[in-house]
A and B are shown apart, each in its own frame.
Chain A
């Protein structure tokens, strides 16, 4: 965290928390570095096993390679995890769940794309239902190339990520706040214009002081009218359900 927090845009609404003038004092920066150092030594991984990459994780976790030696341990819930490991291809349907899981994680949070599928679709490059570039939809700290990457490669990327966290360089998670409009635009292009998540990312960006010029825009403007839109849809949805019941013999 030794980088300066980006300046809040002039037209940004008032932040929930008034930034402390002393926040980035020398003492604070030293404390940030200590915190980063400790954080890099206790990574909890949520492995989102969407694809075949999941089979490489048991040897990575268990006694053969034992990733707990370097301080990386599995975690069961996104809210308690630091690192989201996307192990393999993502269909349009699973990408939605990945985004929901990612938004539940507490900052600072890190994402690793595991295998060629998260880079360019891998062997599913010409599939209509498989997402090609994970980094268009959520910020990714690093990719592990390979189909599949061996546990040695997985451990190597853990060590690289730890070194970058320790050096305060693994800040891709801030991009999600600073550039939320762009990420939301890519998501909505795939999921439809009514796509939204329960998490109010814009409010979080304001609260934590990561509000930037790219946080809001044309795509986030749609979220503000969403409630109105959803209420108007309710009468349309109800007769549709009744019509389906009539078909049943």
Chain B
């Protein structure tokens, strides 16, 4: 199958219809597409409608404190072409709002809810942005780079000291640490 190696040429044609989209072939069946935030819904719509990229595998999010941006990556898979397109967009951390793609890919609702919980990104039009996994959590979104995990852990939890008595007990029975 020719499309498993390199890019399908039709994809190139379609992507030229959308402004601000740059395509980079990666190894094997992976294609990276960099998009502007405005073009992303149109890109996903075209990929789904004309190219058969029906399956939204995941939406991932990266917090970039240096540039003060969130990078959102939409991974869409085509069962026919057996290739994966990863569409990257960067949005400003403040206010951290982006449009929901729930109307194009229904499973996006779960991913957006997850990213909203872990990074605080607000997806406008997403059906449900309530708490998802982190019940009993009232702190800041924990996946932000600005969240000091170790400080939180030290403030919240207590530590037990390892006491050597138990080791002496084990050594008394003939066991111990293998060196």
Query: For B137, B159, B160, B162, which residue has the most chain A Cβ atoms within 10 angstroms?
Result: B160
Closest CB of chain B to A186's CB: distance in Å? 9
Interface contact B130-A126, CB-CB below 8 Å: no
Assess whether A127 is in contact with B149, with CB atoms less than 8 Å apart.
Answer: yes
Distance, CA A127 to CA B134, complexed state (A): 13
List chain A residues, Cβ under 8 A from B142.
128-129
* Interface-central residue, B102, B133, B136, B147, by most chain A CB under 10 Å: B136
Across the interface, do B134 and A132 meet the contact criterion of CB distance under 8 Å? no
Residues of chain A with a CB closer than 8 A to B1's CB: none
Once the chains bind, are B160 and A133 in contact (CB under 8 Å)? yes
B50 nearest CB across to chain A (Å): 24
Assess A244 versus B159: contact at CB under 8 Å? Given A126-B153, A128-B152: no
Residues of A within 8 A of B134 (CB): 129
User: Which of these, A127, A190, A244, A247, contacts B153 with CB under 8 Å?
Assistant: A127
For A247, the chain B residues whose CB sits under 8 A away are: 126-129
Cβ-closest chain A residue relative to B143:
A128
Q: Looking at chain B's contact residues, is the secondary structure mostly helix, strand, loop, or mixed? A: loop
Residue of B nearest to A119 (CB): B160
Number of inter-chain CB pairs below 8 Å: 56
C-alpha gap A32/B60 in the complex (Å): 59
Q: Are B127 and A249 in contact (CB under 8 A)?
A: yes
B68 on interface, CB distance cutoff 8 Å: no
How many Å lie between the Cα of A247 and that of B128 in the bound state?
A: 7
A96 to B152, CA, bound (A): 20
Are B130 and A192 in contact (CB-based, < 8 A)?
no
B135 at the interface (CB under 8 A from A): yes
Q: Which of chain B's residues 130-151 have a Cβ closer than 8 Å to chain A?
A: 130, 133-137, 139, 142, 147, 149-150
Residue in contact with A190 in the complex, picked from B103, B127, B136, CB distance below 8 Å: B136
Q: Does A93 contact B (CB under 8 A)?
A: yes
Task: Decide: A133 and B153 in contact? CB cutoff 8 A.
Answer: no
- CB-CB under 8 A from A192, the residues of chain B are 136
Taking Cβ atoms with an 8 Å cutoff, the residues of B that contact A are: 102-103, 125-130, 133-137, 139, 142, 147, 149-150, 152-153, 156-160, 162, 166
Q: List 21 A-B contacts (CB under 8 A).
A: A92-B136, A93-B133, A120-B159, A120-B160, A120-B162, A121-B157, A127-B149, A128-B142, A128-B149, A128-B153, A131-B157, A132-B157, A132-B159, A133-B157, A136-B158, A192-B136, A244-B128, A247-B127, A249-B102, A249-B125, A249-B127
